[in-house]
Chain A
């Protein structure tokens, strides 16, 4: 039906079309250029009175929004306290936070925009290992120091980054070390014999759970269930059914937040009663107890942070944070705050905070120095791996308390776990 052509149409229309398109493309290029022109002045310069702008991308929506917001609170508290105390190098600190929607594509664009377009002076890391690796690469290629609060999985440190530092005491695989030692120290007859593992398909969550699983399996314990679920899983009834049916003595959850809540509720619905139950991340969240109906007794969790720790900066941090928010900081907040402390220490020591050569000086300084933080003194190896260990907490008498190692103990290790 298009065989007969009208000459006028066939010549005129396409040219009009093409002209419009060319005009559109030109306009877009101009708009893009203009956008960037506007913000050039703000970020750059680096005069002594300008604020130090710190670029951050966080998952404020999406799968990791819960911990992401915790990290945001920690960063904001850090900036506020620093500014109240007179700033960094006498300059005020300003955070520019973008939302990456828990999305790796976004996080790269975000850091690219922060570094190249907004020309921020410093960057802080995002949340979750999955987002740390791509964003660390951007920072690396722009030569930026990259201190991050959450990329604890082993693979982060295997990428060959030389600008990356993890601002927490230990990497994911080592989180349960004290617990593994404690279980293996029990007499053969008393300790759990069978283990059920369920882990989110996420490098951090799997790192924690598999670190413990492998240590126990090496010592001869039976792994009877080993499940992996994708991050967007909401229905845990069948995983719970499998765990319950296996009758495992011990359950290990490689979890973030909501998945732990869902899994525990599903296990409760099946009336499964293990003698030990360990879940990463979630139990340290202040809303955890309410979310699972306060049946928390005996649940274990590793933590890199405790609000009662007596490190000097921590006492001050907890006090000021509690005054600000009405509740003490959690682990996510503390890790973010630690990131701020680490970068601040380097900035104060080196005496600069801007893009360019300054960044390498900051990296070099951190390589060879120890930093006092709210999670204790931190040092790093050449891959950016911290050289410490995590504490083990347990819900005892309705409170989450440190039970391992024994020299940091706030309460006795409860075994077997009371029914939930």
Chain B
């Protein structure tokens, strides 16, 4: 009941905002925040479920925006048909990109995601005859007769509707078998694969869904804003804002990115308006990102929950725990871990003590442990150094072991 009430309150706040906004600027700032919320939520389809951090989602935003604009300009499609078609184009483009990007993990994936933005920036700058180049592209207004405040109000509701669709989709995936598979990838990809989760296809689908929604948000932005410039559509900063917002709010939570977008978006508008003649907003963004990464990588929502939980009844469930948290707890409560992980290392035949030692060594990985090293028999038995390196930074323990 409380949940329903909260949702109603939230919906009322969103729907009433355009009427309550004192002037068109506040309304336009509200649209910017909503568009941030859309992009951050779209990002979270990939980042939240699979744990793959893409810093390059601005590429899809830009593609959606330019796709919409170009389809209207060159094919004369009606605005919202062009918008949907651009979403479809983004979907198609993402498939090969996703296949390339997902051939690798972690570091290389981030590099690919950033590179995709940079390559699109170059292409859209250089291919001036098609994209308008650095002069930018003017997207015709879908509602040419509307006055500016009215235009803002319409788009506020359009963005809100798009966000609602995304939230419902995220919620549905979160509860589905597909979502569980994705989360397994996030916690331990090798183990998920060994357990029969089609990790590659799952990741690809998540990536495509995420990119398509980002593209739709970009297309909506193009229809609203009207002026596109490659430097600002294909901007790494935009991708970084998406990550920051999602992380700040909490990537494991439906409303995390929305909350993050409201905080970061409002903050950005404020900083740019009040300290607009300095680079202060960059420094502020940097500090916020650093604090989030270092001190609350799970975001505000879990942090707030933990605070509430401290005063509420103790809960022994481990459902909301990440593998990483578990690891830390296990390490603290050593030698609690006795059950190994047969699926990940079928070739390693070592005793309990040795396995435990290895588990401890590998979990610390390059993070450099302070504790005494007891050697890694698993490593020596495998021979190749790369294999050992491969395993190093990934968690070796699963939640089941806690029971």
Contacts and interface: CB of A to CB of B under 8 A. Distances in A.
B135 A203 contact: yes
Contacts of A22: 6-7, 9-10, 13
B147 to A, nearest CB: 7
Interface string B1-12: 011011101100
A108 B225 contact: yes
A61 B272 CA distance: 12
A325 interface: no
B266 A25 contact: no
Nearest to A118: B25
B305 A17 contact: yes
A98 B273 contact: yes
Contacts of A155: 135
Interface in B305-327: 305, 308, 315, 317, 319-320
Interface residues of A, number: 66
B260 to A, nearest CB: 10
A228 B14 contact: no
A105 interface: yes
Contacts of B279: 61
Contacts of B276: 98-100, 110
B138 A133 contact: yes
Nearest to A63: B231
Q: Which of A6, A18, A37 has the most chain B CB atoms closer than 10 A to its own CB?
A: A18
A29 B136 contact: no
B180 A2 contact: yes
B329 to A, nearest CB: 15
Contact of B226 (A1, A28, A31, A137): A137
A103 B25 contact: no
A116 B183 contact: no
A16 B305 contact: yes
Contact of A24 (B5, B30, B231, B263): B263
B382 interface: no
A18 B10 contact: yes
Nearest to B232: A105
B133 interface: yes
Contacts of B14: 25
Contacts of B28: 109, 112, 116
A18 B22 contact: no
For the complex, would chain B's binding face be called helix, strand, loop or mixed by DSSP majority?
helix
Interface in B170-194: 180, 183-184, 187
A228 B125 CA distance: 10
Interface in A259-307: none
A99 B277 contact: yes
B6 A18 contact: yes
Contacts of B305: 13, 16-17
A21 B304 CA distance: 11
Contacts of A183: none
Nearest to B253: A17
A187 interface: no
A61 B17 CA distance: 33
Interface string A135-155: 001100110000000000001
B229 A130 contact: yes
A14 B227 CA distance: 39
Interface residues of B, number: 70
Q: Which of A1, A61, A104 has the most chain B CB atoms closer than 10 A to its own CB?
A: A1
A18 B7 contact: yes
Nearest to A159: B138
A9 B320 contact: yes
B258 interface: yes
Contacts of B89: none
Contacts of B232: 103-105
Contact of A142 (B13, B148, B183, B229): B148
B21 A6 contact: no
A16 B277 CA distance: 39
A230 B125 contact: yes
Interface string A214-252: 000000000000001011100000000000000000000
A48 interface: no
B319 A2 contact: yes
A205 to B, nearest CB: 10
Interface in A319-348: none
A121 to B, nearest CB: 16
Contacts of B376: none
Contacts of B138: 133, 159
Given A17-B301, A60-B277, A103-B232, A26 B317 contact: no
Contacts of B320: 9, 13
B255 A17 contact: yes
Contacts of B135: 130, 155, 201-203
A117 B134 contact: no
Contacts of B319: 2, 4-6, 9
Interface string A30-55: 01110111001000000000000000
B24 interface: yes
Nearest to B135: A203
B259 interface: yes
Given A33-B22, A109-B32, A231-B134, A201 B226 contact: no
A98 B398 CA distance: 53
Contact of B254 (A14, A99, A138, A141): A14
Contact of B301 (A20, A31, A61, A203): A20
A130 B24 contact: no
B148 A141 contact: yes
A419 interface: no
A2 B3 contact: no
A19 interface: yes
Given A109-B28, A113-B273, A230 B255 contact: no
A317 to B, nearest CB: 25
B211 interface: no
B26 interface: yes
Interface string B208-231: 000000000000000001110101
Nearest to B149: A116
A201 B25 contact: no
Interface in B377-403: 398-400
B262 A36 contact: no
Nearest to B320: A9
B107 interface: no
Given A22-B6, A106-B272, A228-B128, A134 B147 contact: no
A25 B11 CA distance: 10
Nearest 3 interchain pairs by C-beta: A18-B6, A15-B3, A201-B134
Given A16-B2, A17-B305, 19 more contacts: A1-B187, A14-B3, A16-B308, A24-B259, A25-B10, A28-B33, A32-B26, A32-B29, A37-B22, A60-B277, A99-B277, A103-B232, A105-B225, A108-B227, A109-B32, A117-B25, A228-B133, A230-B134, A231-B231
Interface of B: 2-3, 5-7, 9-10, 13-14, 17, 20-26, 28-30, 32-33, 125-126, 128, 133-136, 138, 147-149, 180, 183-184, 187, 225-227, 229, 231-232, 253-255, 258-259, 262-263, 266, 269-270, 272-273, 276-279, 301, 304-305, 308, 315, 317, 319-320, 398-400
27 contacts: A1-B400, A2-B180, A9-B317, A13-B320, A18-B255, A20-B304, A22-B7, A24-B262, A24-B263, A25-B13, A36-B23, A37-B22, A40-B22, A98-B277, A103-B232, A104-B229, A104-B232, A105-B225, A105-B232, A106-B272, A109-B272, A110-B276, A116-B149, A133-B138, A137-B226, A141-B147, A230-B125
